[in-house]
């Protein structure tokens, strides 16, 4: 059974008033550092394979072993580096990729793992840390695109997911585009003139200003921010019409959800969105795993390779950090339903782009894939790695929550230096 993270379908009214009832505000400890960080264009594509992609059928195959399964490994564009035959297009892009095959995390359940992996799990201080997308929106900023800094493209419902922001405050939540479509009722009704709409917005601004007087800013700023973002999205509505793109682009990415959504992600990155997360569901293969993998993995392989190639061809890969991740991997041992269960003990993460070495592999598992054979990498180490790739040094940059300094990544962990450029 597929277990998905909590979703909060939000109406346009809630989307445009996302701050109601929210508390908590985070700020950088050093404003000068924050200003310097925002001068550079830095973006992230975060591909989330919800449920747990099997490392054994992707980045770390173990053919001809007791747990290896029926699929072969194939040579990649980097001599000596092999991946599963289910990823032939990604194999051709290996010279642009970095793999960490020694990821070892703690949580064996979706409910705990999804939050822990995406929040980075700093030492428990009794506060709710932001998801990585919200953290990047805060630390890197929205840039000059005028678009929301954190956009989540996903199947099913959309809305404004303020809870991702944790103590940073709802302004840094995720704008979720359900099925890759713009928010409902985004466009001005045809029977409302532009002049009347402008007058209503001026009245709203006056009322907002009056309401904000003598109230904590985090209770009102997200409301204003949501209206501003909606106005910018109205101007960029053409981003969502993929039918106008060349047919060869649509064919290269595929007509399935992940293909369409990664093609939209490319458009959003081209338009300047700072952080784009694309979620694919259905990877929790407890039964009939190998038939499932034969269907699922090609749907990832084709568009993921296509977007890597496109970002490189457009000169964007030097500025966009690309990550393919999940909450854990799959068990080496095959269960009685011909499936693989949850396995946080030893799995893989793929990266590319900004701040990342190309064509490298860090860490390894043992011969049967049951355990990490080198120094294990927990999610805190990956957060150190990702922040440093973006030019954010966790030793120099902190959050502030109600005056309390807080680390942006786990104090006791270090980056995976082998993959940092």
159-206 pLDDT, tens digit per residue, is 889 899 999 988 899 999 999 988 766 555 667 676 766 666 677 667
Given a cut of 60, whether residue 112 has pLDDT beyond it is yes
Q: pLDDT band for position 24 (50/70/90)?
A: very low
Name the residue with higher pLDDT: 295 or 235: 295
* Mean of per-residue pLDDT scores for the chain: 87
Interatomic CA distance for residues 83 and 85, integer angstroms: 7
Give me 64's structure tokens. 């001809």
Name the residue with higher pLDDT: 232 or 338: 338
Residue 132 DSSP SS3: helix
Give the CA distances from residue 20 to residues 28, 223, 321, in Å, rounded to whole numbers and listed in that order: 23, 8, 33
Q: pLDDT band for position 391 (50/70/90)?
A: very high
Name the residue with higher pLDDT: 7 or 116: 116
CA nearest neighbour of 407 among 420, 421, 396, 419: 396
Burial class (CB in 10 A: 0-12, 13-18, 19+), 376: middle
pLDDT tens column, 232-243:
777 788 888 898
∠ CA 61-65-67, nearest 5°, is 75
According to the model, what pLDDT value does residue 269 have? 97
Q: Which CATH number among 3.40.640.10, 3.40.50.10710, 3.40.720.10, 3.40.190.80 corresponds to the domain 12-192+221-419?
A: 3.40.720.10
């Amino acid at each position: 059974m597929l277990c998905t993270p909590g979703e909060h379908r939000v109406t346009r009214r809630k989307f445009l008033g996302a701050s109601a009832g929210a508390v908590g505000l985070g700020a950088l400890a050093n404003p000068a550092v924050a200003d310097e960080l925002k001068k550079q264009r830095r973006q992230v594509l975060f591909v989330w394979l919800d449920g747990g992609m099997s490392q054994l059928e992707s980045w770390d195959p173990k053919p001809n072993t007791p747990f290896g399964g029926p699929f072969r490994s194939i040579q990649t564009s980097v001599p000596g580096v092999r991946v599963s035959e289910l990823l032939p297009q990604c194999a051709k892009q290996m010279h642009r990729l970095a793999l960490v095959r020694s990821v070892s995390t703690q949580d064996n359940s979706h409910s705990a793992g999804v939050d822990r992996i995406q929040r980075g799990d700093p030492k428990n201080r009794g506060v709710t840390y932001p998801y990585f997308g919200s953290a990047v929106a805060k630390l890197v900023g929205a840039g000059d695109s005028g678009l929301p800094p954190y956009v989540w493209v996903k199947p099913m419902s959309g809305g404004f997911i303020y809870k991702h922001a944790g103590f940073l405050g709802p302004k840094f939540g995720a704008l979720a585009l359900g099925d890759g479509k713009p928010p409902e009722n985004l466009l001005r009704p045809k029977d409302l003139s532009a002049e009347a709409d402008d007058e209503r917005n001026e009245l709203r601004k006056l009322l907002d200003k009056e309401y904000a007087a003598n109230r904590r800013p985090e209770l009102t700023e997200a409301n204003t921010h949501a209206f501003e973002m909606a106005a910018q999205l109205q101007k960029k509505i053409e981003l969502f019409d993929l039918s106008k793109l060349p047919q060869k682009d649509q064919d290269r990415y595929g007509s399935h959800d992940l293909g369409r959504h990664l093609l939209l992600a490319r458009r959003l990155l081209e338009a300047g969105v700072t952080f784009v997360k694309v979620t694919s569901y259905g990877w929790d293969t407890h039964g009939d795993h190998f038939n499932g993998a034969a269907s699922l993995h090609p749907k990832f392989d084709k568009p993921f390779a296509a977007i890597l190639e496109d970002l490189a061809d457009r000169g964007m890969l030097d500025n966009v950090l690309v990550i393919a991740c999940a909450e854990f991997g799959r068990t080496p041992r095959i269960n009685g339903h011909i499936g693989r269960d949850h396995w946080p003990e030893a799995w893989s993460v793929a990266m590319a782009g900004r701040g990342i070495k190309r064509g490298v592999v860090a860490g390894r598992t043992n011969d049967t894939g049951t355990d990490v054979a080198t120094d294990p990498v927990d999610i805190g180490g990956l957060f150190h790695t990702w922040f440093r790739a973006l030019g954010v040094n966790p030793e120099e940059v902190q959050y502030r929550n109600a005056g309390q300094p807080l680390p942006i990544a786990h104090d006791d962990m270090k980056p995976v230096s082998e993959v940092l450029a």
